Structure 1
Amino acid sequence: MPPYEIIEPVFQDYILGNAQLKQLATGFDWVEGPVWFGDAGCLLFSDIPNDTIHRWTPNAGLSTYRAPSHFANGHTRDRAGRLVSCEHGTRRVTRTEYDGTITVLADRYQGKRLNSPNDVVVKSDGSVWFTDPHYGIVSNYEGHQAEEELPCNVYRIDPITATIEAVLTDFDCPNGLAFSPDETVLYVADTGRKFDRPRTQHIRAFAVAPDGTLSGGAVFHKIAPGAADGFRVDTDGNLWSSAADGVHCLSPAGVPLGKILVPELVSNLCFGGRGKHVMFITATTSVYSIALIRAGV
């Protein structure tokens, strides 16, 4: 049975009827932060509790990319192709240079330590945007338990001055984030504070001005079942979000179009492969892939 649920007829044009959901690797504790390196033909992803970044390649399978990883979570590539990572353990955002050395992009704001940077994107102007919820410091499971020194904000690192600015300060716990293809919209998930009942869980959308300032922030969509943790956008502006039952596809207007059904709770995803048409999915203990008739930005 194909692993899809079609909600709107247009979703039929996004999927391949004979494409199966493939389990690429399993046996992890909590996988996150997938990022595709097309020039190296590999996928990197984090197993946060086991303090490791893994590498998967189609021919060689699984290997260790970095251990310890400082409890790394989300990753992306900058405009020069370098790995940018969020580290819970060191409470910082780093860049891996071509020679393998590590450059710290952010670890403090106004003299205080960040909480536990979670997810990160790089805009076309080279600015680095990241979320900083408290999940990595509320226990020792995904980092080191510690007190919060700052609110849970969304930050921007200026590409010229390297200064850090808190651009969104009204979130309980910001999580995944992504720009629309033309970068006029920034989507940010709020997954709520760890011990709140009920928790704030929705995706908000912000208009992005040419100078990078943000406005708006209305609720774009609320994922159910589960919550939006990580997500990515395709070239048509559809948003593909993690959920408890798989990956949900939302139109640019926030209308649910369909689902990729996954047998584990999904944490994050990315597009990759030869034409950026393969979706790689991190889901609790496993990593999956599925080919689509859509390409990621």
Structure 2
Amino acid sequence: MDIQLVTEGLEFPEGPIAMADGSIILTEIKGQRLTRVTPDGKKEVLVDTGGGPNGAAIGPDGAIYITNNGGAFEWLDTQGLCIPGPTPPSHVGGSIQRFDPKSGKLTTLYEACDGKRLVGPNDLVFDKQGGIWFTDHGCSTPEGRKFGGVYYAKTDGSHISRQRDHLISPNGVGLSPDESVVYVADTQLARLWAFDVAGPGELGPPPGFAPGRVICNLQGFNYLDSLAVEAGGKVCVATIINGGITAFDPDGSTEHFAFPDLLCTNICFGGADMMDAWVTASSTGKLYKCRWPRPGLRLRFNA
């Protein structure tokens, strides 16, 4: 695979969005900002978000919605790599934010669900109804982890519901092409979950004792991060330690594409044929572009 370096000097990039004009809008978690990267590699800060902006997506109104973990990581310099560390004592929780590119206004939509503070919102995807499926990654504590969950919310701030709770470390989230399945990558389990959708914004009952269906557990020591779905239904998950992108088929088989960073955190698709792919290489602060062997799934909304 021919990999092209688009830009570098980013502060732990994540949440890439392939825009219609060829630019990429992404988050910089350590930098606490939303940034546009042009095809020639130039960078423009769109807004300072505070906290820890992680996932980002265009909504039905053309605004950019951000899952902000609230600053859930301390940052470690390990052999010249930027590595997310423990949750600092100052962390109180995260939020869902909305950024209007036209006005430049940043607002907070949600900080809690049913009176329980969101811990560390991580990734999001819009369905055809214009609602938001998002994950809460949880966070670390000196005694162990605060568990995460899977949520659904409306963009007008009127509704948020917790659809699965007590998940170890839910991270990337995506929808199958027919939107009958919500896929969630669990970081620490190196597991891709599938949750069947019962209706708009509602997951079906879990199968037995498990919270969802297991697509695959990666062997050995790996972590999973954020993801994007291919048009044919494969789920492309950024892989940590075994740095790159792992494509999971719904039948459980996998294919790995290596990238030069131990902490690849996300992938997005774009271009006229949806076969251009951009990958965030976070520990080295780089954004790469390549031609993917198959087209990605076109998201419901873009700008």
User: Do they fold alike, i.e. is TM over 0.5?
Assistant: yes
Instruction: Tell me how far 1:36 sits from its aligned partner.
Output: 1.6
Matching residue within 202, 205, 211 for 2:194: 205
State how far apart, in whole Å, the 2-side matches of 1:33 and 1:108 are. 22
State how far apart, in whole Å, the 2-side matches of 1:151 and 1:260 are. 30
Deviations 1:124-152 (A, max 9, x none): 111111111234x759xxxxxxx99x752
Q: How many pairs does the alignment contain?
A: 261
Structure 1 match to 2:231? 235
Structure 2 match to 1:78? 59
State how far apart, in whole Å, the 1-side matches of 2:19 and 2:141 are. 32
State how far apart, in whole Å, the 1-side matches of 2:157 and 2:268 are. 29
State how far apart, in whole Å, the 1-side matches of 2:163 and 2:291 are. 35
Give the alignment's Cα RMSD to 1 decimal: 2.4
State how far apart, in whole Å, the 1-side matches of 2:257 and 2:175 are. 22
Matching residue within 216, 221, 225 for 1:221: 216
Instruction: Tell me how far 1:73 sits from its aligned partner.
Output: 0.8
Q: Following superposition, which runs of at least 4 residues in structure 1 exceed 4 angstroms of deviation?
A: none
Instruction: Tell me how far 1:95 sits from its aligned partner.
Output: 1.5
Classify the secondary structure of the residue corresponding to 2:17. Answer: strand
Instruction: Tell me how far 1:32 sits from its aligned partner.
Output: 1.2
1:92 maps onto 2:95 in alignment: yes
Moved more, 229-238 or 83-92: 83-92
More strand by share: 2
State how far apart, in whole Å, the 2-side matches of 1:108 and 1:210 are. 23
1:36 maps onto 2:18 in alignment: yes
Letter in 2 for 1:91: G
Unmatched segments (≥5 aa) in structure 1? 4-19, 140-146, 193-199
Structure 2 match to 1:274? 272
Letter in 2 for 1:101: K
TM-score, scaled to structure 2:
0.78
Structure 1 match to 2:295? 295
Structure 2 match to 1:22? 4
Instruction: Tell me how far 1:61 sits from its aligned partner.
Output: 2.3
Structure 2 match to 1:15? none
Instruction: Tell me how far 1:123 sits from its aligned partner.
Output: 0.8
TM-score, scaled to structure 1:
0.79
Alpha carbons of structure 1 residues 202 and 231: separation in structure 2 relative to 1, 3 Å: same
Percent of aligned pairs with the same amino acid: 28
Matching residue within 169, 183, 189 for 2:185: 189
Instruction: Tell me how far 1:24 sits from its aligned partner.
Output: 1.1
